[in-house]
Amino acid sequence: MSLSRFDGQSKLLVRSLLSGVTGVQRALLVFGRQQRTDPGESLSAFVDTLCQDEVTPGERGQPLTVKPLVCLFPALFKRNLLSFIHRLDPILPRTSVLRLVKCLGQDVQPSPWVSALVRQLDRNLHGVHSEEPLFTPSCSQRLEGLSQNAVGVAETGGWASCFSGPAGPSECRPESGLSDRGTQRKRKGSGSILDSDEEGAGRQSKRRKVDDCDGARVDAEEPSGKADADSPAQTPPAPESRSDTLPEHLQFSVLQMKELLESQTEWDQSSKDVFKVLNECDPSQVEAICRILRLSDLPEQTLLKLCTSILAPSPDLSYSTAATLIKSLLLKKVLSLSEPASRCLVTAVTSLCSRCPRPTCQALIGPVLEEDDIGNPQAELLNRLIEGCLDSHYRLLMLQMTFKSVWGEAVLSIIHSLLDSKPDLSQEMFTQFTEQLIFQGPKFTTSVKFAKLMLTVLTKYSSYVTAAHKHCLHSCLMLNETFLKKSLQAALKRITHS
């Protein structure tokens, strides 16, 4: 197929749409880059070229015929083109799209998919909502045959009633085997034919992937209970998809982000600019985008590139956007650590914490400290943040967070790092901290870490210790059974005589 009729930018779109099953995503990415380079660029010229007449030789000695250029492209191109047009429908001139639909209607032998997409696009353009299915009569016959094989030829209703003719809405309701949110297939004794996979459905939960509006996928769990052996069992209807409906421009941006996250190449500046749209979203939209892109499951190499990209735009990310991104990107990875964090993860966490300390405290550090069984890998990572990323204000906030957490050896090391950093404690906060020490003391009578923590309090914060503190700390020290007990008593005695 000669591409000489298209200009340079249109040729890139044509090649993208000819590139197979990923053609739509590639074309959207190409068009997005063209828009960033030239915001005034329109698809009108591209569509007009597709609609130009082309003289073609007839088959087997038939005379020459004139067809629109778009009709000469293969079916895969037409299918990708219509999906591409559907995604960009709100920003395309209505007259150009109508003209394209009319030209595709002149195709002598269109594929069923192309015919269905043309009809759907035509309905959208005219604002028509119809219950009539988009498939052809031959497709309807095949579906009817399949339904009869599945439920038995003698049975009526079910799927067959939906494809036997122009059915009204009442004919495709739960009594015929269909519901609004899913389908129920009934097992009726020996008259039903079930696969072995279906027989196991009553004994285990299934997970299915549901395509959402922008082509991305989200997980939806379908619980199933154990069926009674003496009564007919039904598979419960599939739950509604949890994907949120995003505006068209955000759907387009999500596709670009998805393409970047899945690519193995380095990102240029124009690629990084794709993430600027995140700062224009409200919290619910950011959460939807994070869920659609599965940011919590990103490989760590991609995670580092993404963190660099979302921190590059100016102005800075808003608090809600930053908190949502940090939670989606980092929390799952940090909580699942069973060994020291990799260099990529440490770099990603420290870069976000340095730029967005408050959202990091609320969306990452707080939830980690609330866990009952955090270990040394988590403590080591938080200690890095204390030493290199957080100023005195946020170290105080972090210390207050430990008052509400369950203390263990890992939390003790975090508290020790906080005290070693010498935050500017108020007398009130020191009193709260002392109360925590006395409350937690009976659990750590043999803990060397707890003894070292007490020694730090008595040596570095002796000026904060009042008479009331001395009495309480003395009773706490009497329970200590470590080799540091004498050193602790000596430190307290020095404070008493000072």
Query: Looking at the predicted structure, is the pLDDT value of residue 388 above 60?
Result: yes
| Size of the chain, expressed as the number of residues it contains | 498
Query: Could you tell me how far CA 169 lies from the centroid of its own chain?
Result: 35
Per-residue pLDDT at 196: 37
**8 A C-beta contact, residue 338 and residue 375:** yes
Query: Looking at the predicted structure, is the pLDDT value of residue 482 above 70?
Result: yes
> 273-297: per-residue pLDDT in tens?
788 888 888 888 898 999 999 988 8
> 67-96: per-residue pLDDT in tens?
888 888 888 888 888 888 888 766 777 787
Query: Looking at the predicted structure, is the pLDDT value of residue 380 above 90?
Result: yes
**CA separation for the pair 76, 19 (Å, rounded):** 9
Provide the H-helix boundaries in 134-279.
Answer: 137-151, 160-163, 196-199, 248-262, 269-272
**8 A C-beta contact, residue 29 and residue 256:** yes
- pLDDT interval class at 24 (50, 70, 90): confident
**CA separation for the pair 410, 408 (Å, rounded):** 5
Per-residue pLDDT at 40: 65
Nearby residues of 80 by Cβ (< 8 Å), 6 or more positions away: 17, 18, 23, 24, 27
Per-residue pLDDT at 340: 93
Q: Residue 315: is the preceding peptide bond cis (ω within 30°)?
A: yes
Query: Looking at the predicted structure, is the pLDDT value of residue 304 above 80?
Result: yes
Q: Looking at 71-75, 174-178, 305-309, 395-399, which range is the least confident one? A: 174-178
Q: Looking at 104-113, 241-250, 306-315, which range is the least confident one? A: 241-250
**CA separation for the pair 100, 106 (Å, rounded):** 10
Q: What percent of the chain shows pLDDT beyond 70?
A: 71
Strand partners, 178: 183
- pLDDT interval class at 106 (50, 70, 90): confident
> 317-344: per-residue pLDDT in tens?
788 889 999 999 999 999 999 999 999 9
C-alpha atoms less than 13 angstroms from C-alpha of 195 in its C-beta half-sphere: 6
**CA separation for the pair 368, 362 (Å, rounded):** 10
If you average pLDDT over residues 444-457, what whole number do you get?
91
> 120-147: per-residue pLDDT in tens?
777 777 666 555 555 556 666 666 676 6
Say which CATH architecture domain 246-405 belongs to: Alpha Horseshoe (1.25)
Q: What are phi and psi of 325, to 5 degrees?
A: -65, -45
Q: For Cα atoms 273, 274, 275, give the angle at the middle one, nearest 5 degrees.
A: 90
What's the whole-number average pLDDT of the chain? Answer: 75
Greater model confidence, 162 or 61 = 61
- The H-or-E segment that residue 225 falls in is none
In sequence order, what E strands does 156-261 have? Answer: 178-179, 182-183, 206-211, 217-222
Nearby residues of 322 by Cβ (< 8 Å), 6 or more positions away: 316, 352, 356, 359, 363
* Domain parsing of the chain, residue ranges: 8-126, 137-222, 246-405, 425-498
**CA separation for the pair 462, 491 (Å, rounded):** 9
**CA separation for the pair 204, 252 (Å, rounded):** 37
**8 A C-beta contact, residue 392 and residue 424:** yes
Query: Looking at the predicted structure, is the pLDDT value of residue 309 above 50?
Result: yes
- pLDDT interval class at 386 (50, 70, 90): very high
Greater model confidence, 237 or 345 = 345
If you average pLDDT over residues 380-405, what whole number do you get?
92
Per-residue pLDDT at 143: 65
Residue 463: other Cβ atoms inside 10 A:
8
Per-residue pLDDT at 342: 92
Most confident segment among 5-19, 93-107, 324-338: 324-338
Per-residue pLDDT at 2: 60
Q: What are phi and psi of 209, to 5 degrees?
A: -100, 130
Per-residue pLDDT at 274: 81
Query: Looking at the predicted structure, is the pLDDT value of residue 201 above 80?
Result: no
**CA separation for the pair 464, 428 (Å, rounded):** 10
**CA separation for the pair 332, 144 (Å, rounded):** 47
> Which residue, among 30, 32, 10, has the nearest Cα to 22 in the 3D structure?
30
